[in-house]
Structure 1
């Protein structure tokens, strides 16, 4: 299924004089049934942008009577503004708050991928109005990572290394197709054959502008790394943790854990959390789209039935 041109059209808003971009996948629901929307937060990495969610958006649109999706490019990614700064999760979250309040104008269920979860946490802390009605965490970081802080000194040392001519050379190397394919096989996908032409073309196109490297380097420098245990414990909204059967951690700092152990670590702290294991590894919305979409649909129906 191909999304029609109308739903794929890039739309624009501004935040602090920077351009933010997003697309809307419209719902067929009306009235009270359309009381919430979905807000997607894509992962940060070489070539990644809102295009990461296209398979999920296609499947969601293929189902009838489902919520409208708002799929933005994070600042520093995709077609959004690409300033040369060291981005923090707060920097990524602040434009999303404006998007909720001035564009979406209804409660949202936030779906975050991987280590973009801290962006969702910072967005929660900003208390947008309308509110966040629920969260879906696709392959969130290992518990030992999400609760382990990197020092400001470590972060700045790494950022200064990346924010140099050496960093530019590294990014040019990292966006080579052979590297992207090898990294995806080693760290992201369960099945080698799922690292397909569509995936590699998406990363190649998304990394063509060298200015996309600043968001990637901010992520690699660890500006998202701090102890979020207290923030997670304060989440009152229903939260679904989805893990791949063979989930792994990219970070060398993480402890070894099974998918169920990671779910348990989160759900033991989340006041209103639940978890589910799906086929796949670390990029469930892309590699296990059908199972992921179904799990999201069922969870959102729970939220709507309670609301």
Structure 2
């Protein structure tokens, strides 16, 4: 196997904010793909583009032909963290700039979990020819992605979080004991998969208190809209990947089997397909090999599309 290229952290400016991203070039440049991969990480305590490290390394180590662009979303990682309420379109706008001014080729977007609304907003503001396909890793329950949260409730929650009480809560939530307990209860299929690198990543990523603004925007539900019509308008081929023990973190969702969630998405998506993989809610991390292979199969389909 050829040696893997080290990722390089780079920066660009959007709307006066510094935005960070990594680039991983393919090992086999002679097989360069006409598309690139754009990764959208989940939002949560300590989460950033580092969420994708295992996937990126395996993709590159397996001689994937696509260049990977892995940005830190606004308020996360090394990207600026203004103290404002972030809506999905606020996360999406810097990605639009990244696609149009830096990547400059069609991308296949891979989004994790409830970052899917960011993808939907990005689709709405980007020329369709710039996005070749979508891969959704554990997207939200159908009852969540199609059910808006009342605006008054969103603002009330944000004001509560954006207070000294919110700061105390964030300090509590970034403790290693809480991070481990939450990961076992809500994210991973097997407790033993909540390993030291995962916990170290979350601990380091949450050290900056400014990282709480993106997390609180997510918890306030600013991403909660009825996206059914937007999903029905997606023309690009879309792959929905669900863990065999997938669950929903939101208390508002209704229990549903993984296959049912896939069916609900694919019945609405004009060009959708789905697959169940081992794991629960963080497939790129807990089931990296199976997830990577499913993505590669989909990319091969796109080449023949």
TM (norm. structure 2) is: 0.97
Going from structure 1 to structure 2, the CA distance change for 1:233 and 1:168 (only over 3 Å counts) comes to same
Q: Deviations over 1:151-199 (max 9, x none)?
A: 1111000000000000000000000000000000000000000000000
Alignment partner, residue 100 of structure 1: 99
Task: Give the equivalent residue in structure 2 for 1:89.
Answer: 88
Correspondence for 2:290: 291
- Contact 1:101/1:128, CA 8 A, preserved across alignment: no
Aligned to 1:161: 160
Secondary structure of the 2:296 match is: helix
- List aligned pairs for 1:1-307, cutoff 5 A: 7-30=6-29, 33-128=32-127, 131-306=130-305
Deviation of 1:305 (Å) = 1.4
2:27/2:60 contact within 8 Å kept:
no
The whole-number CA distance in structure 2 between the counterparts of 1:176 and 1:225 is: 27
**CA 1:237 to 1:129, structure 2 compared with 1: closer, same or farther past 3 Å?**
closer
Shift >6 Å, 4+ stretches = none
Q: Deviations over 1:100-146 (max 9, x none)?
A: 00110000000000000000000000024751000000000000000
5+ residue gaps in structure 1? none
Greater shift, 293-302 or 127-136, is seen at: 127-136
CA RMSD between the two structures: 1.6
Is the CA contact (8 Å cut-off) linking 1:7 and 1:23 kept in structure 2? Answer: no
The separation in 1 between residues aligned to 2:195 and 2:298, in whole angstroms, is 29
Extract unaligned runs of 5+ from structure 2.
Answer: none
Contact kept, 8 Å, 1:44 with 1:216, in 2: the verdict is yes
Q: Deviations over 1:56-95 (max 9, x none)?
A: 0010011124211000000100000010000000000000
Q: Matches of 2:270 and 2:99 in 1, distance apart?
A: 24
Task: For residue 7 of structure 1, give the secondary structure of its aligned residue in structure 2.
Answer: coil
